[in-house]
């Protein structure tokens, strides 16, 4: 576990309070998107396909801080768009830190060198830098040459100034376990605090649909990566719970917990999660919790959710499982994710032919 003790204790005590209160649906990480505008156009991005009037919208400092207060999650992730484009981002970050919330400022790093002096190092602030692989892979993923080198220089600069820095990596088609392992070795050597890693979600709005890895291919890829990690005794610092990693390797059958990472963006509170647009918005966090038809979502319930294994949907599930089954989580943490043997059986989608999942289940009407 790469997260500092102060953060582990704060998040741990928040979770215990929720349990003591008997809260059924509570947030873990607020996904705060104060703008959709970005200075890149990545092949797998589902956030920038909006008309200019939407891309030009910004959440104000007050709207951002109101969202933080309203939601109450102990951690705030600020993705986007590119947050460093927002002129008031330093004030937004300062306000969140003043509330003693842990803020992950996600950035593609193109502007980090220019803007870094607008921020002060703090145990509550982490720059989460987007890197999808080594040079060729990352530059191809973000559809622009030279971005990898800029991001690496920015990481080194931020580390040298005493900032917490993590890397946020999304995996796409064509990756091999060896390639990802080499990437993890590289960022570990750079000295980042940790890496968040997940398969790309198949956004309907992404410019390209052929880049996403799906189903058992994802699980085999992660098994391959973890196997190399075990065999070569790597000390990669993956910023995830042991059970989420076990889930990625096909060893846990989880339903998502979309309210664990509620999303506030320029449209309001997005239903049901960070990944699905076009499902409606709520005007307050409470309205989001009370009016979202949560039962409609999840990989077996909704075709839009098919193949989703994103941490914003499943890390909260893994955390719940950890609280309910601490010995199982401890064992997964000691042995690492299982990399051989049968994977858990996936449930059949309920939306196929009205809940019927094989040809013989589908009634046939014969007319003469
Ligand atoms: S994935 Fe991130 S960096 Fe790439 S276009 Fe989307 S918001 Fe920008
Ligand atoms: S499975 Fe859950 S987290 Fe993933 S897209 Fe569907 S509702 Fe969102």
- In a mutational test of the pocket of ligand 1, which residue from 46, 48, 207, 212 has the highest number of ligand atoms less than 8 Å from its CB? 48
pLDDT per residue over 335-347, tens digit each? 999 999 999 998 8
The answer to whether 321 and 329 have CB atoms below 8 angstroms apart is yes
* 91 is a domain residue: yes
Instruction: Give CA–CA dist 361/358, Å, rounded.
Output: 5
Element (H, E) at 272: none
Residue 366 lies in a domain: no
- Is residue 139 domain-resident? yes
Beta bridge partners of 170: 198
Q: How many CB atoms lie within 10 A of CB 211?
A: 18
Q: What is the CATH number of the domain that holds 20?
A: 3.20.20.70
**Residue 138 placed within a domain:** yes
Would you state the structure tokens that stand for residue 17, as one six-digit string? 């309070």
At 285 the pLDDT is: 98
Q: What is the largest CA-CA distance in the chain?
A: 80
Q: In angstroms, rounded to a whole number, what is the distance separating the alpha carbons of residues 148 and 136?
A: 8
> What is the C-alpha to C-alpha distance for residues 3 and 71, in angstroms, rounded to an integer?
22
State in Å: Cα 95 to ligand 1 middle: 25
132 lines ligand 1 (CB under 6 A): no
pLDDT at res. 205: 79
pLDDT of 217-269, one tens digit each?
999 999 999 999 999 999 999 999 999 999 999 999 999 999 999 999 999 99
Report which of 337, 359, 257, 333 is spatially closest to residue 299, judged by C-alpha positions.
Answer: 257
Segment 49-95, tens digit of pLDDT: 999 999 999 999 999 999 999 999 999 999 989 999 999 999 999 99
Would you state the structure tokens that stand for residue 82, as one six-digit string?
A: 């590119």
Q: Is 212 among the domain residues?
A: yes
Does 31 fall in a domain? yes
CA 281 to CA 267: how far, in whole Å?
A: 7
* 153 lies in some domain: yes
Mutate to test the pocket of ligand 2, among 214, 300, 308, 320 (most ligand atoms within 8 A of CB): 308
pLDDT in tens, 178-210: 999 999 999 999 999 999 999 998 888 787 778
Q: Is the CB of 305 under 6 A from ligand 2?
A: yes
Question: What pLDDT, on the 0 to 100 scale, is given for residue 43?
Answer: 87
Q: How many CB atoms lie within 10 A of CB 299?
A: 21
Average pLDDT over residues 154-163: 98
Mutate to test the pocket of ligand 2, among 205, 212, 218, 256 (most ligand atoms within 8 A of CB): 256
Ligand 2 neighbour 158 (Cβ under 6 A): no
CB of 273 within 6 A of ligand 2: the answer is yes
pLDDT of residue 357: 46
Residue 358's contacts (CB-CB under 8 Å, 6 or more residues apart) are none
Q: Which strands, in side-by-side order, build the sheet including 263-265?
A: 194-199, 164-171, 125-130, 102-107, 75-78, 29-32, 263-265, 268-270, 281-282
Tokens of 253: 């059958």
Q: In the chain, how many domains are there?
A: 1
How far from the centroid of its chain's Cα atoms is residue 160's Cα?
Answer: 26
The domain in which residue 93 lies consists of 5-361
Instruction: State the distance from the centre of ligand 2 to the C-alpha of 65, rounded, in angstroms.
Output: 25
Mean pLDDT in residue range 14-27: 95
pLDDT (0 to 100) of residue 362: 47
pLDDT at 359: 45
- Residue 367, domain member (yes or no): no
């Amino acid at each position: 576990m790469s997260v500092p003790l102060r953060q582990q204790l704060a998040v741990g005590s928040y979770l215990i309070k929720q349990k003591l209160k008997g809260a059924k649906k509570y947030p873990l990480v607020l996904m705060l998107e104060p703008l959709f505008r970005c200075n890149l156009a990545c092949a797998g991005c589902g956030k920038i396909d909006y008309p200019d009037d939407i891309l030009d919208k910004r959440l104000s400092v007050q709207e951002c801080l109101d969202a933080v207060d309203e939601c109450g999650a102990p951690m705030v992730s600020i993705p986007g768009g590119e947050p460093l484009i927002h002129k008031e981002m330093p004030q937004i970050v300062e306000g969140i830190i003043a509330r003693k919330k842990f803020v992950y400022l996600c950035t593609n790093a193109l502007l980090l060198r220019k803007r870094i002096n607008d921020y002060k190092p703090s145990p509550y602030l982490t720059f989460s830098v987007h890197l999808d692989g080594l040079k060729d892979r990352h530059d191809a993923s973000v559809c622009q040459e030279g971005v990898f080198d800029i991001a690496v220089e920015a990481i080194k600069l931020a580390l040298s100034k005493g900032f917490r820095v993590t890397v946020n990596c999304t995996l796409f088609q064509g990756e091999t376990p060896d390639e990802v392992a080499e990437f993890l070795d590289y960022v570990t050597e750079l000295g980042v605090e940790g890496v968040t890693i997940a398969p790309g979600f198949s956004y309907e709005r992404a410019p390209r649909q052929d880049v996403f890895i799906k189903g058992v291919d994802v699980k085999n890829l992660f098994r391959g990566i973890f196997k190399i990690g075990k065999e070569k005794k790597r000390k990669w610092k993956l910023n995830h719970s042991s059970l989420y990693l076990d889930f990625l390797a096909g060893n846990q059958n989880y339903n998502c917990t979309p309210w664990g990472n509620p999303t506030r963006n320029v449209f309001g509170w997005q239903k049901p999660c960070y990944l699905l647009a076009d499902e409606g918005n709520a005007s307050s966090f409470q309205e989001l919790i009370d009016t979202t038809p949560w039962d409609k979502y999840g990989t077996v319930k909704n075709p839009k959710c098919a193949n989703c294994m994103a941490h914003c949907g499943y890390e909260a599930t893994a955390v719940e499982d950890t609280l309910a089954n601490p010995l199982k989580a401890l064992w997964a943490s000691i042995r690492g994710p299982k990399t051989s043997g049968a994977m858990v059986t996936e449930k059949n989608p309920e939306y196929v032919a009205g809940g019927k999942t094989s040809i013989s289940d589908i009634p046939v009407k014969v007319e003469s």
